[in-house]
Structure 1
Amino acid sequence: MLCTFYSLPIVHPDSLLVITISGIGLALETFYLTIFILHSTREGRLKILAAEILFVVVVFIAVLLTAHTY
């Protein structure tokens, strides 16, 4: 997810190849998480997903507020 975010045009311009590969990786990660969600307990599922979502949101906000591309 972080690599896909890095390759977005608002963060890093002219990165078509990077976003293509990162998008494929994101699709594979989504497939893996779907399998994890189907076979995990409710408590484990909520802890892992909440931690991952919180981490990604914090990184997104930090990058968008501090990093400048010219």
Structure 2
Amino acid sequence: MRTVQLNIELPNLVNSTEFELKALLASKLYEREELSLGQAAKVAGLSKRAFIEILGNYDVSLFSESEEDIRADIANA
């Protein structure tokens, strides 16, 4: 993994903590399938189990929703 340091100016209205912003970024990258579950959990600074538990806070499903994956799941059932 590489380290990226960002300085982002947010309006005063945004009261999110550093943890919340990391978790949001990690969950959205996981949702877009750019990170695996383990990688996303690491970005958020959480265990896989803890990361799974917070995914719903960011409207991200643990399960893939692509048509191809659903068809594969049905075929394997």
User: Normalising by structure 1, what TM-score?
Assistant: 0.29
Greater RCO between the two (CA within 8 Å, min separation 6)? 1
TM-score by length of 2: 0.27
